[in-house]
Structure 1
Amino acid sequence: MTREWFGVTNAASVPSDVAWQLHALLDHAKAGRWSSMLQLLEQRPQWVNATRLGGASGFTPLHQAAYLGASVDVVERLLTLGAFKSLRSAQRQRPVDVARQRGHHHLTALLEPPTHLVSPSFLQDVEELVHTVILGRAAALVQQHGVRLPPLDVLLELQPSELWVPIPGMYGGFHVRLAVIADEPIVVIDSWVRVVGGSQERRLVSRAGVAVLHLSDPV
């Protein structure tokens, strides 16, 4: 099952009960109320990488666990629920950086992002292009709802390396995945709009730029 990215940061873009639950989730994480946090995440696992609506720190529950030095059991449960090790805060810190800075060395090995055959430098090189493709189709909605676009590093933590990025108001979104063509890594972006009879587009993103692919062509 493809993992779904929750990137909305504008409280006005979600129902009030959802906003309340999200605030409660991040409050539990910030206060170290791990049982309450995990209980909420068991019901809403898609929020495991959420940040506070309207917040400035960019801390996810995993960042908070790293900051407070939670037990290995708590961190392992967050990872099982889908927490990303490579997400960075507003200060560009990954959870492992936070744990190391705070002296919580019992967590550093567990929080170290995995190695991958695809070089992280490739993803860093093409991330801006991928975000440009998304903004080219949904810039107004991304701005309206304060959508935090996913860093491509998270694809290296997924098997298969793919992510669904819904955009509120688009009635669809973007399916982003890693692939290899002629021994070269690329990012494939399929986008859907489920109105006006439906609309689908595909783009291939590499260091060479962005290419349009006919949807009947295999990748």
Structure 2
Amino acid sequence: MEWDGLTDRGQFGASYLQERDHFADLARDADWNAVFEELGGRPGWANLPRPGIRSGFAPLHQAAWHGADFAVVSRLIAHGAWRTQRTMDGRRPVDIARERGHTRLLELLEPVEVRSLPAPADALERHFHALLRDRTGGCLERTAHLLPPLTPLTEGPDVSIVFPVVGMMGGFTCRLGQDLLHVHAHSRTDFDDGSHYRVTTTGWSGI
């Protein structure tokens, strides 16, 4: 699934921005049939907020806000929507449902940890973010990005996070291994498979 950390709407192309805004409008307006139609052709979009982040509400947050039918929420999760994803003010979908009084959704929206991050998880994420900053050649300094959290990786046996980076013509894909994080840096300019790294709670290194 894709993590869109780009905070500047001006960095998006006009046609792509229009498509993403349309997708965000459908979720905001609880037009779930249209949301699922869009996800049928764009399966990686299940966790994307409106471009430029703003509130950070992805489709599952909107479903929690509206108190969507159980079947709608289940289907979003089946499409890969992350129950651990937080809005800009730190709320998960389950937190929003609780605030709104949609108690029938709480059990379904409560994050389920299928896999555990190596402990301490904050150290693993810190070294992962250090790798991203080091390997982007200053791209993250020139164009502000929100770096991806690792908690979504706990939600399934083989979850991956794709993090596009402006200026790289590509980005990073990460997934959990045994006691470590595998990170693949890739670009359309690569003549081979790109670069591979391993991240642990004590640091990161190339493979």
* Shorter-chain TM-score tier: 0.7 to 0.9
Q: Call closer, same or farther: CA 1:138–1:30 in 2, change over 3 Å.
A: same
Q: Where does 1:82-121 land on structure 2 (aligned, <5 Å)? A: 82-119=80-117
Aligned with 2:44 (options 33, 43, 46)? 46
Structure 2 residue matching 1:79: 3-state secondary structure: helix
Query: Which blocks of at least 5 consecutive residues in structure 2 are unaligned?
Result: none
Q: Is 1:147 aligned to residue 142 of structure 2?
A: no
- Distance in structure 2 (CA, Å) of the matches to 1:34 and 1:177: 29
Structure 1 residue 93 displacement after superposition: 0.8
Which residue number corresponds to residue 203 of structure 2? 209
Which residue number corresponds to residue 25 of structure 1? 23
The amino acid that maps onto 2:145 is: V
Q: Which stretch shows the higher mean deviation, 144-153 or 55-64?
A: 144-153
Structure 2 residue matching 1:175: 3-state secondary structure: strand
Q: Which stretch shows the higher mean deviation, 116-125 or 33-42?
A: 116-125
Which residue number corresponds to residue 135 of structure 2? 137
Q: CA RMSD in A?
A: 2.4
Which residue number corresponds to residue 192 of structure 1? 186
Q: Deviations over 1:23-74 (max 9, x none)?
A: 1111221222222222222222222111112242111111011011111111
- Distance in structure 2 (CA, Å) of the matches to 1:74 and 1:87: 17
Asked whether the 8 Å contact 1:48–1:78 carries over to 2, the reply is: yes
Q: Deviations over 1:123-155 (max 9, x none)?
A: 333212211111112264335554332210011
Query: Which blocks of at least 5 consecutive residues in structure 1 are unaligned?
Result: none
Question: What is the number of equivalent residue pairs in this alignment?
Answer: 207
Structure 1 residue 100 displacement after superposition: 1.1
Aligned with 1:163 (options 161, 164, 167)? 161
Structure 1 residue 84 displacement after superposition: 0.7
Structure 1 residue matching 2:195: 3-state secondary structure: strand
Q: Deviations over 1:96-125 (max 9, x none)?
A: 111111110111111111123425853333
Asked whether the 8 Å contact 1:7–1:50 carries over to 2, the reply is: no
Structure 2 residue matching 1:56: 3-state secondary structure: coil
Asked whether the 8 Å contact 1:6–1:47 carries over to 2, the reply is: no
Asked whether the 8 Å contact 1:124–1:152 carries over to 2, the reply is: no
The amino acid that maps onto 1:203 is: Y
- Distance in structure 2 (CA, Å) of the matches to 1:76 and 1:21: 24
